[in-house]
Each structure stands twice: as C-alpha cells, then as structure tokens.
Amino acid sequence: MPAAIADNANLTADRPTFVTHLECGMTGQHLPADTLHNLSPEGWPILVRYDLEALGRAVDRDELAARPADLWRYRELLPVRKTENIVSLGEIATPLVPLGRIAAEDGLASLIVKDEGRLPTGSFKARGLCLAVCMGKELGVTRMAMPTNGNAGAALAAYCSRAGIESYVFCPDDTPEVNMREIALQGAKLFKVNGLINDCGKIVGDGKETMGWFDTSTLKEPYRIEGKKTMGLELADQMGWTLPDVIFYPTGGGTGLIGMWKAFAELETLGWIGAKKPRMVAVQASGCAPIVKAYEDGVEHAPVWENAHTYAAGIRVPAAVGDFLILRAVRESGGFAIAVDDDTIEAARLEVSAKEGLLLCPEGAATYAAYKQALADGRVHKDETAVLYNCATGLKYPLPAAGETLDRTKPIDYAALG
C-alpha cells in the first residue's frame, strides 16, 4: 500500500459501528442489517439507521478534528463494520471555493462552490460507490452491475477493481466518450445501449438472475446514500458545525440531496448542529425536469419524463425510484425545485470559468444558473449564504473549441495579440 494511505489512521484504526437496522424509506418497515438488500419488500429505497445515542456517547464532534480530513473521518456514522473492508482511493474532503469576484460584483454575502470534482474518478459518485463497494465486499458480493450516465459507472469500475469485484456497466450510447473509456479502462465490462438510463436499468434488473450480479442502480441498494451523506457531514464540519442558508444540488437520482438531508437530521439528533438547516434546492435541466414538475404539481411521485434531453448528462434521469424522498427533503426544508435550460447552463459555465478560474461541469454550472434565476425571482436573497455543488471535474466534458493559430515562421505583431 502507498505510504500515504498506510499512514492514514482513518483507514487502519478499528472504530465502533452503530448500525442497528435498515428501514423501508416509504413504510418504515424494519429490515435486518448485515445482510444483502436491494429495494425493500414493497419496492422502495432502503435507509440505514444508527444508534445515535450510543454514537453520541462514544464520539464527540470535536474529536473528529484530530483525524485526517476525508470521508473516513466520519467512520462511526458509516455502515462498514470491519476496517479490512474499507476500499479507498483517497476520498479527500473537497474544498469550499468562494466565488469572490462574482459575489463582489453582484453584492452577494457569500456564494460558495463545494468542488466535488477533486474526488477519485473525478466526481462525487466516488462517495456513494466507495460505500456501496465496501459493503458489497463486506457482504460477500463478487459481481456488481449498474446503469449509468457515466460518472457512477466510472466510480463503480474503479472501486470494484480495487476490491477484486467484477463490474458490469450499461450506459446510453451517447454518454460522453471519455466516461465510457474510463469505465472500460478501470476494469468494467462496458455495454453501450441504444436507450436512456432507465432502459439500461431494466437490462440490469432483467439480467440479475442469469448473471448473478448485485444490482447497484441508484437507490436500489442501501449504501450509496450513506456515502453521499458525507457531503452533508463534511459541509457542517467545514463550516464549524453550522450550515448555509440554502444548498443548490444538481438532481438526477437524488442520492446526494436525500443523503445530505439525512446527514443533517442525524447531526441534529446528535446535537452536533442546531435546528437551523438549509433550504434544499433540487436543480434540473428544463429538457428533463420530472422532480420540478412534481414539486410544482404538489405530488409525491414524478411520472417518467418523456423525450428527456440535456447536455448535462448527469442529470438526464427521466425517472427516479427515490422521487418521494427527494420531494420530501425539498419540502421539509422549505426549499424548492427549479429547472434551467442548456443555453443558460453553458453561459453559467463560461462565466464561472472566466471570472473565477473554476471549471465547472455542466451539472455544476446548472446550480449557478439556477441560483441566479432564484435570486432574480426572489426565492433566494443576496444576504444569504448559498452553497452550490459542483459534482464533477469540468475536464470530463467536451469543451468549446478555442485558440487562435500563430505562424512562428512569419514576424509576430505582438501589439496585436492584446
């Protein structure tokens, strides 16, 4: 093992675990921990529950500061029982990057990007899949499969290869080329499907019996939410155990939004944060906005979005099995759901790159576009602290053509370069 990882006490220290049971996200039915589950018997996503009272007695939030700043700092709030089952590629705490020039220009109190593009495999999918694969290893899984728009597949492939688990990945055939190649390079069997992510999901579900793989689809196993939950734990920790007024989250399957809301509830129960929690804003693209429509219609479930299209591939999710959990978090928090079109997303991406030197992915740029829209329509105020989630490195996506040619064999008119 590389020295840096061997030296990281988070990865080597045995710590007590506090999972008591699992729970159906819809009915609350209890299910046993430490056995494999996909959806609950009624067909809903499953949530992991902890003995928070015992956890609170065993560890104090201020002790955490002495540990390395990464995902495993929060080990007691995670489900992995045995230290030997930790599979890590170095899940660092991602930085909070203030958009200072934009804030000064527009008179904003505080606008911050949590830049998740710094994580292994270049996206926040690493958080969820890291935990899903650790738990797969712990529970004896040898083969995992999933549908993906790119980043989840890359993270699954990477963590599975590291854990010695086989992976099968199915993606729409128009997934960005770089995503498909990294998935294959990191050891997965990759299939390009002439359909959308929900079509790929059906293939995974239908092939389960024959292929003996564990279905790792978004929210169809309990542990990706726990991994994504660390976005919320880490944010509270980084902000000195306080939280911003409002969070803008690019919402596809909603794992991160659901996970963060769960994190805040657990932190409040522990007494590590107060009662003030952020308004959660689900950001979608106007070409695929099932959650926005359901939010506006006042319903708990979102019908499948027909003809889904947006260049922000990570949020092109026409149907989410955890739609009700996303909508509950948004409503309980006093937040809202908002859609932005592709042109506005691209303009937002160009603006943040040029003014702040921060290259967002399209989905991350969508959160800035949505923030501006919400500022204009009065749903967010200039004096509030807002955190935007940039979910992946901008380098994974096609970039606009650029650069002028320069002929070095002719005299260069330097004054004309300005």
Ligand X SMILES: *Cc1c(COP(=O)(O)O)cnc(C)c1O
Return residues touching ligand X (CB under 6 A): 123, 125, 151-152, 218, 250-256, 314-315, 361, 363, 391-392
Alpha-carbon distance of 17 to 34, in angstroms, equals 12
Name the residue number minimizing CB distance to ligand X: 314
DSSP count for the chain of H helices, then E strands: 14, 13
CB of 391 to ligand X, least distance (A): 4
State how far the Cα of 370 lies from the Cα of 66, in Å rounded to an integer.
37
How many whole angstroms separate alpha carbon 150 and alpha carbon 152?
A: 6
Complex with ligand X: residue 101 or 181, whichever CB lies closer: 181
Cβ closer to ligand X: 80 or 360? 360
Output the smallest distance, CB 115 to ligand X, in A. 12
Cβ closest to ligand X, residue 59 vs residue 260: 260
Nearer to ligand X, 59 or 133 (CB): 133
**Distance in Å, CB of 337 to ligand X, minimum:** 12
Q: How far is the CB of 71 from ligand X (least distance, A)?
A: 15
Neighbouring C-beta atoms of residue 30, cutoff 10 Å = 12
- Give the number of C-alpha atoms closer than 13 A to the C-alpha of residue 103, restricted to the C-beta side: 17
Nearer to ligand X, 244 or 322 (CB): 322
Helix, coil or strand: residue 158: helix
CB of 256 to ligand X, least distance (A): 4
Helix/strand/coil for 54: helix
Rounded least distance, CB 23 to ligand X, Å: 20
- Tokens encoding 78: 């995670």
Order of strands across the sheet that contains 19-24: 30-31, 19-24, 46-50
| DSSP element (H, E) containing 370 | helix 362-376
Shortest distance in whole angstroms from residue 186 CB to ligand X: 15
- Which one, 11 or 145, has the nearer CB to ligand X? 145
For residue 405 the two structure tokens come to 């040619």
Could you tell me the smallest distance in angstroms from the CB atom of residue 315 to ligand X? 5
Calpha distance 11→85 (Å, rounded)? 10
- 185 contact partners, CB below 8 Å, separation of at least 6: none
Q: Shortest approach of ligand X to residue 231 CB, angstroms?
A: 9
Burial (CB count <10 Å: 0-12, 13-18, 19+), residue 205: middle
Q: Which is nearer to ligand X, 52 or 365 (CB)?
A: 365
Q: Which is nearer to ligand X, 40 or 255 (CB)?
A: 255
Question: Could you tell me the end-to-end alpha-carbon distance of the chain, in angstroms, rounded to an integer?
Answer: 50
Buried b (16+ CB within 10 A) or exposed e, 216-250: bbbbbbbbbbbbbbbbbbbbbbbeeeebbbbbbbb
Residue placing its CB nearer to ligand X in the complex, 73 or 228: 228
On whether the CB atoms of residues 5 and 11 are closer than 8 A, the answer is yes
